[in-house]
Amino acid sequence: MTVRLDQGLLAELERMTPRQRAEHEAEVAQAVATHRDMKVQVGETLLELRDLSVRFGGLVALDSVSFSIQRGEILGLIGPNGAGKTTCFNAMTGVYRPSSGGVILEGEPLGKAKKHHITRRGIARTFQNIRLFGEMTALENVVVGTDARHRTGVTGALLRLPRHDREERTAVDRGMALLEFVGIADRAADKAKNLPYGSQRRLEIARALATEPKLLCLDEPAAGFNANEKAELMGLIRRIRDDGYTVLLIEHDMRLVMGVTDRIVVLEFGKKIAEGAPSEIRENPAVIAAYLGVPDDEPA
Ligand X SMILES: Nc1ncnc2c1ncn2[C@@H]1O[C@H](COP(=O)(O)OP(=O)(O)OP(=O)(O)O)[C@@H](O)[C@H]1O
Q: Pick the binder of ligand X from 14, 17, 39, 59 (CB under 6 A).
A: 59
Residue 250 burial by CB count (10 A; 0-12/13-18/19+): exposed, middle or buried?
Answer: buried
Sequence letter at residue 5: L
The minimum distance between CB 42 and ligand X, in angstroms, equals: 28
DSSP state of 191: B
Q: Does 223 bind ligand X (CB under 6 A)?
A: no
Residues 122 to 141: which contact ligand X by CB under 6 A? none
Using CB under 6 A as the binding criterion, the count of chain residues that bind ligand X stands at 11
Nearer to ligand X, 82 or 102 (CB): 82
Per-residue mark of binding to ligand X, 72-91 (x: CB under 6 A)? -------x-xxxxxxx----
Pairing of strands 246-250, 215-219: parallel
Nearest-angstrom CA–CA distance, 236 and 230: 10
Query: 3-state SS of the chain: helix, strand, coil percent to 5?
Result: 45, 20, 35
Sequence letter at residue 3: V
The minimum distance between CB 208 and ligand X, in angstroms, equals: 18
Is residue 88 within 8 Å of residue 62, measured between CB atoms?
yes
Q: Does 215 bind ligand X (CB under 6 A)?
A: no
The minimum distance between CB 106 and ligand X, in angstroms, equals: 25
Nearest-angstrom CA–CA distance, 72 and 40: 10
Nearer to ligand X, 85 or 202 (CB): 85
The minimum distance between CB 291 and ligand X, in angstroms, equals: 12
Residues that bind ligand X (CB under 6 A): 56, 59, 61, 79, 81-87
